[in-house]
């Protein structure tokens, strides 16, 4: 009986690591007058954290929409020196990012993000 207990206890130690959920992809978008800079050009599809940091002197926000998609993700107004965050599950494709305030988009506050379908 003692051998069965030891064998059962030993079996609990070998949990496959592949079962763990991978962390979300992360990207930082820096905003200033009048541009958006991405910390990376692409991320993998799935859970993602998008962080908007306002390094400018004006308020900014951020909208994201996949090319051909209908859903627009948003980070609300972020004041100078502050940060906003969005957690979303992104599908593969090209995403347009832009500031929706006043004429900021027309003045250059837009960028492209590629979300790839390849594994992590």
Q: Is there a domain that residue 112 lies in?
A: yes
Tokens 């978008």 sit at which residue? Answer: 29
> Is residue 61 within a helix (H) or strand (E), and if so which, with residue range?
strand 60-66
Encode pLDDT of 50-101 as tens digits.
999 999 999 999 999 999 999 999 999 999 999 999 999 999 999 999 999 9
Residue 118: per-residue pLDDT: 75
CATH number at residue 50: 2.60.40.420
Count CB-CB contacts under 10 A for residue 60.
28
Helix (H/G/I), strand (E/B), else coil: 100: coil
Q: How many residues does the chain have?
A: 120
Residue 100 lies in a domain: yes
Q: Token pair of 61, please? A: 């926000």
- Residue 103 falls within a domain, yes or no? yes
pTM of the model: 0.81
d(CA 6, CA 105): 65
pLDDT in tens, 18-64: 556 779 999 999 999 999 999 999 999 999 999 999 999 999 999 99
In a domain, 99, yes or no: yes
In a domain, 109, yes or no: yes
In whole angstroms, give the CA distance from residue 80 to residue 39. Answer: 19
Q: Which domain holds residue 88?
A: 22-116
| Structure token pair of residue 107 | 């003045």
- Cα separation, 110 vs 46, in Å, equals 23
* Structural domains counted in the chain: 1
Classify residue 1: in a domain, yes or no: no
Asked if residue 10 belongs to a domain, the reply is no
The answer to whether residue 6 sits within a structural domain is no
Please state, in angstroms and rounded to a whole number, the distance separating the CA atoms of residues 40 and 111: 11
Full strand arrangement of the beta sheet holding 25-32: 35-38, 25-32, 46-54, 83-90
């Amino acid at each position: 009986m003692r051998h069965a207990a030891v064998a059962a206890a030993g079996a609990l130690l070998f949990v496959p690591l592949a079962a763990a959920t991978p962390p979300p992809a992360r990207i930082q978008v820096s905003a200033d007058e009048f541009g958006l800079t991405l910390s990376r050009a692409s991320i993998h599809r799935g859970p993602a954290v998008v962080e908007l940091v306002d390094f400018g002197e004006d308020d900014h926000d951020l909208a994201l929409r996949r090319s051909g998609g209908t859903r627009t993700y948003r980070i609300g107004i972020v004041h100078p020196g502050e940060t906003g965050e969005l957690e979303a599950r992104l599908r593969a494709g090209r995403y347009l990012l832009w500031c929706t305030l006043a004429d900021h988009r027309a003045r250059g506050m837009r960028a492209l993000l590629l979300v790839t379908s390849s594994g992590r």
